[in-house]
């Protein structure tokens, strides 16, 4: 499959999170290198980087990967292809490592005999819960994650691992969070606006705070965006996902993502452990934006 086709598939993605989508982006860059005429690798890779970041602007790992490949592509023409391929291999290795490490750091947040609330279907949260289930007994409440209903996938996955799980509608969050001991959510990005995740995260954070329930995001450092980088969450999605036969005189508002301020969280679990809001801001301050991405953002 060509780079453009893979990028279009990423643009049309509606169910998978950033940690999964970024693996398709690795294939897109490989295809871009394969399709590059002699001496044109850097230009083709830069074009792919801009397109991929634009395809799912709420997903920060696409930005992190773009930074890695653009640094590699800034090489003499004859060396650009091999350098980009090496950068892709290193990023894939990093993804495999953090996919193990973040759940390992987070599973200790799950109390024995307790109840965990989660929403949507974060693969990182799922792995953390499965690790915790190997060590202690607890149960999980999944919010359904309208309109895509990914919470059902999450509930099924956990139940198949032998974890006691129930599912409820998103609007019941305030009623169920009071009986929970901790809330764990994933993240697609962390930037100036805060933690970008599935719609409903902000309300869950506020309700958890009111109930005195700890609220954590599980997010590796590929989810971090530099200060000043635009975060787009106004992603208008098909009205039919909410109401397939809505009368034409009724406007349907459908968004997948929203930003929740970092201050609403009790912490963020990265591959290096539990981090505070100040820690995250320090890490974000160290990030560099390559010139092609700066130009695209401008």
Which distant-in-sequence residues (6+ apart) come within 8 Å of 128 by Cβ?
A: 102, 103, 106, 107, 109, 110, 184, 218
Dump strand ranges (E) for the chain.
Answer: 115-119, 139-143, 164-168, 182-185, 189-191, 194-198, 215-218, 257-260, 267-270, 273-275
Confidence tier at 143 by pLDDT (50, 70, 90): very high
**pLDDT digits 0-9 by tens, 88-123:** 999 999 999 999 999 999 999 999 999 999 999 999
Q: What is the pLDDT of residues 274-293, one digit of tens each?
A: 999 999 999 999 998 887 78
Does the pLDDT value for residue 68 go beyond 90?
Answer: yes
User: How do residues 15-33 score in pLDDT, each as one tens digit?
Assistant: 777 778 899 999 999 999 8
Q: How far apart are CA 241 and CA 147, in angstroms?
A: 6
How far apart (Å, rounded) are the C-alpha atoms in residues 68 and 55?
A: 18
Residue 265, Cβ neighbours under 10 Å: how many?
A: 28
Q: Say what the pTM is.
A: 0.89
């Amino acid at each position: 499959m060509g780079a453009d086709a893979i990028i279009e598939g990423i643009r049309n993605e509606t169910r998978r999170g950033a940690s999964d989508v970024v693996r398709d982006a690795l294939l897109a860059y490989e295809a871009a290198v394969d399709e590059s005429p002699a001496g044109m690798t850097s230009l083709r890779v830069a074009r792919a980087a801009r397109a991929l970041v634009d395809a799912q602007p709420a997903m920060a790992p696409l930005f992190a990967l773009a930074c890695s490949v653009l640094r590699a592509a800034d090489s003499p023409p004859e060396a650009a292809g091999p350098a980009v391929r090496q950068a892709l291999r290193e990023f894939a290795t990093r993804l495999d490592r953090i996919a193990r490490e973040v759940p390992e750091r987070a599973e200790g947040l799950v109390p024995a005999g307790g109840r965990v609330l989660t929403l949507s279907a974060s693969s990182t949260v799922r792995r953390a819960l499965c690790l915790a289930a190997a060590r202690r007994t607890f149960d999980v409440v999944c919010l359904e994650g309208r309109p895509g209903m990914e919470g059902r996938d999450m509930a099924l996955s956990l139940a198949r691992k032998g974890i006691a799980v129930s599912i409820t509608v998103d609007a019941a969050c305030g009623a169920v969070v009071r009986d929970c001991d901790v809330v764990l959510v994933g993240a697609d990005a962390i930037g100036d606006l805060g933690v970008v995740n599935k719609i409903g995260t902000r309300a869950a954070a506020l309700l958890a705070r009111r109930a005195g329930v700890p609220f954590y995001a599980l997010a590796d450092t590929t989810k971090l965006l530099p200060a000043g980088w635009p975060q787009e969450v106004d992603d208008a999605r098909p009205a039919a996902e909410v109401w397939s036969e809505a009368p034409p005189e009724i406007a349907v508002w459908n968004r997948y993502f929203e930003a929740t301020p970092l201050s609403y969280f009790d912490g963020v679990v990265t591959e290096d452990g539990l981090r505070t809001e100040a820690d995250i801001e320090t890490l974000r301050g160290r990030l560099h934006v390559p010139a092609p991405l700066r130009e695209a953002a401008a």
